[in-house]
Structure 1
Amino acid sequence: MTNGRSSSRAGVFAVAAGTDRRFTGPATGGERPLLAAFLADQRATLELKCAGIEAQLSRQAVKPSTLSLLGLVRHLADVERRWFRKVLAGQDAEPRFSSAVDPDGAFDTGLSGPGAVEEAWAAWRAEVAFAEGFVDAAPDLDVEGDDAWRGRVSLRWVLVHMVEEYARHNGHADLLRERIDGAVGI
């Protein structure tokens, strides 16, 4: 025991037994349902790590880093927007929270003030809904789009990349949340 807390990470992150909706997707079957389920689990993990501390989401808890849970939500809204709307759907969809002039805007600009948390979650949910609809409507995982960074990419690649992107940032969210209120878990 350290600082009055158990050092065990075995407990589930603030989730009552039997209520965790993550990791319940298929473990066999087609590639699309498996990839979509893994991505949905990672998205749900982000929501879980941010739950119940709305007033503290903008706290940049590990100085000098500007990482915050709210910044992660905003960043991931932009990432969802980029890969699904801009690259795969070919829409003219600029990032909501960052720009060429302010590439770290999701983490550095507009994190406080009335409505900042609600705006971030609304943007993230809109982008997730678009992405889920795009994946459901795609004829197959070989749908492709052009990206300035990677070149030609497939929906399959984007889904794998998004699982990786969320997994990395959910690790950051673990540390940020523990710093904010001591909550730990998966």
Structure 2
Amino acid sequence: MKIGQADERALLEGMVDIQRDEINAILEDLDDEEARRKLVPSLTTPLALVKHAIFVEKVWFHARVAGVPRKEIRLPDTVDESFMLDPEDTVESVRAAHRAACERSREVAAGHELDDAFDWHGNPVSLRFIYAHMIQELARHAGHGDILVEQIRAGR
């Protein structure tokens, strides 16, 4: 079935997966130096965007939906820290970690209904809300990545 003719769940899952693919694709055709290149004053680099997307997957699906404590999955304490790169982070390692985080998120979500509720800072949110939030968050960051990669490629 095509995504445009899918039921609500398949549509939401499909749209999140499209954005996950767009995030992972930020690093296509970049070497490690290019992926770490800082073009804006913030911590945002192509590699950092994908690393942040791993954090987002883990916060929403692994911690919030699956109920695994943040410390157990080694989540940074702040959003800014989720953009920080370790010396061993490479295009290959971050892309693989992102794919693994997305796969785990799919497994976690598959065990829940769209109306199941999860705590978000003392308020209940549905899996439906989480999917919608992920679509907008990942799309925004994919757009950031597109701009950074365009600048990097233009400078080659």
Q: Indicate the TM-score class for this superposition, using the shorter chain for normalisation.
A: 0.7 to 0.9
Distance between the aligned counterparts of 1:61 and 1:164, measured in 2? Answer: 23
SS at match of 2:19: helix
Counterpart of 1:69 in structure 2 is 46
Distance 1:106 1:117, change over 3 A: farther
Correspondence 1:39 to 2:16: yes
Does residue 1:142 correspond to 2:115, yes or no?
Answer: yes
Q: Specify whether residues 93 and 119 from structure 1 end up closer, same or farther in structure 2 by C-alpha distance, changes over 3 A only.
A: farther
The residue identity in structure 2 corresponding to 1:129 is E
Hey, what's the Cα distance between the residues in 1 that align with 2:154 and 2:110?
38
Question: Any gaps of 5 or more consecutive residues in structure 1?
Answer: 1-23
Q: TM-score, normalised by structure 1?
A: 0.73
* Counterpart position of 2:131: 159
1:9 aligned residue: none
**1:127 CA drift (Å):** 1.4
Letter matched to residue 178 of structure 1: E
Q: Which residue of 1 aligns with 2:82?
A: 106
- Structure 2: segments with no counterpart, 5+ residues: none
Q: How does 1:7-22 map to 2 (within 5 A)?
A: none
Structure 1 counterpart of 2:68: 91
For residue 140 of structure 2, give the secondary structure of its aligned residue in structure 1.
helix
State the SS of the aligned residue for 1:27.
helix
Whole-Å Cα distance in 1 between the matches of residues 92 and 69 of structure 2?
24
1:134 deviates by 1.9
Structure 2 CA distance, aligned partners of 1:77 and 1:29?
Answer: 27
Structure 1 residues 96 and 122: CA distance shift in structure 2, 3 A: farther
Q: 2:143 aligns with which of 161, 171, 183?
A: 171
Cα root mean square deviation, aligned: 2.2
8 Å contact kept, 1:35–1:160: yes
Work out the CA distance in 1 between the residues paired with 2:2 and 2:14: 5
The structure-2 alpha-carbon separation of the partners of 1:153 and 1:38, relative to structure 1 and needing over 3 Å to count, comes to same
Contact 1:78 1:96 in 2 (8 A): no
Confirm or deny: 8 A CA contact 2:65 2:109 kept in the other structure.
no
Q: Distance in 2 between matches of 1:70 and 1:155?
A: 28
Matched-pair contact (CA < 8 Å) for 1:141–1:154: yes
Shift in Å at residue 98 of structure 1? 2.8
Amino acid at match of 2:120: D
